[in-house]
Amino acid sequence: MNMRHVHWFGGLLVLLFLLAGCATQVDRVGPEGTEDLTGRWNERDSRLVSEEMVEDLMKRAWLERHHARSNSNPAVIVGEIRNLSDEHINTNTFIRDIERELINSGRVTFVADSGERQAIRGERADQEEHARPDTRSPAGQELGADYMLTGTINTIKDVEGRTEVAYYQVNLALTSLADNTRVWVGQKEIRKVIRRGLFRS
């Protein structure tokens, strides 16, 4: 093998290594194995915060007081949860995580939100015209909510050099729809220390 072939072969090997390094790699992970790639709010944060806050909500005195007063599970609706942070957070995903935890607790009755109710009412109206009478769902039978859950997601960030501390604070409040009294207030905090690599922005 002459020198020209050696150089050509060596260049080919380098090209193959470069192409291999550029190839996309996908590793499937379960929900418990969510990787924190950027340090930003992610699906694992949403899931853990919703689990812990609903657990706290379910063990507080308001629930026992409601059961003693009405002898039935309280009807709860999730209202607006506002993102007041400086990053994009999909609050709909967080709301769905909270809804799942509330329903799965078995200790509350969950009521659909206003947007979903409009769609359901549209379906009932359609049934009035098109469905057999014995299969129609009658109007005026909706369950009114006893309590509404609302909240905010806030962030504070502190940066020094290539190190950033991200502080997330989630505040939730449960309010009685009968008299606007707050029956529960919860808060969950997450702190993340993010150390950027030398060549990462």
What pLDDT digit, counting tens, does each position of 12-71 carry? Answer: 666 666 555 555 554 444 555 555 666 788 888 899 999 999 999 999 999 999 999 998
What pLDDT digit, counting tens, does each position of 69-111 carry? Answer: 998 999 999 999 999 988 888 899 999 999 999 999 999 999 9
Q: Is 18 contained in some domain? A: no
| Range in 3-12, 67-76, 113-122, 129-138 with the lowest mean pLDDT | 3-12
- The predicted pLDDT at position 71 comes to 87
Asked whether 158 and 165 are in contact (CB, 8 A), the reply is yes
Q: Is 91 contained in some domain? A: yes
- The predicted pLDDT at position 29 comes to 45
Q: Is 130 contained in some domain? A: no
172: domain CATH number is 3.40.50.10610
What is the extent of the structural domain holding 70? Answer: 42-113+144-195
CB atoms < 10 A from the CB of 53, how many? 22
Q: Is 81 contained in some domain? A: yes
Q: What is the mean pLDDT of residues 141-167?
A: 88
Taking CA atoms, 179 is separated from 78, 148, 182, in Å, by: 17, 12, 9
Which amino acid makes up residue 168? Answer: Y
Asked whether 174 and 184 are in contact (CB, 8 A), the reply is yes
Asked whether 165 and 155 are in contact (CB, 8 A), the reply is no
Q: Is 85 contained in some domain? A: yes
Taking CA atoms, 137 is separated from 111, 124, 153, in Å, by: 17, 6, 38
In the DSSP assignment, the letter for residue 39 is: S
Closest CA to 31 of 18, 14, 50, 54: 50
Calculate helix-pair angle for 43-58, 91-105, nearest 10 degrees. Answer: 40
Task: Name the more confident of 7 and 141.
Answer: 141
**Phi, psi for residue 199 in degrees, rounded to 5:** -110, 15
DSSP assignment of 97-145: HHHHHHHHHSSSEE---HHHHHHHHHHHHHHHHHS-GGGPPPTT-PPPP
Instruction: Output the average pLDDT for the chain.
Output: 84
Q: Is 60 contained in some domain? A: yes
In the DSSP assignment, the letter for residue 72 is: S
Q: Is 121 contained in some domain? A: no
In the DSSP assignment, the letter for residue 59 is: T
In the DSSP assignment, the letter for residue 60 is: S
Report how far residue 20's alpha carbon sits from residue 28's, in angstroms, rounded to the nearest whole number: 20
Alpha-helix residue ranges (DSSP H) falling in the chain: 3-22, 43-58, 61-70, 91-105, 114-130
* The total number of structural domains that make up the chain: 1
Q: Is 14 contained in some domain? A: no
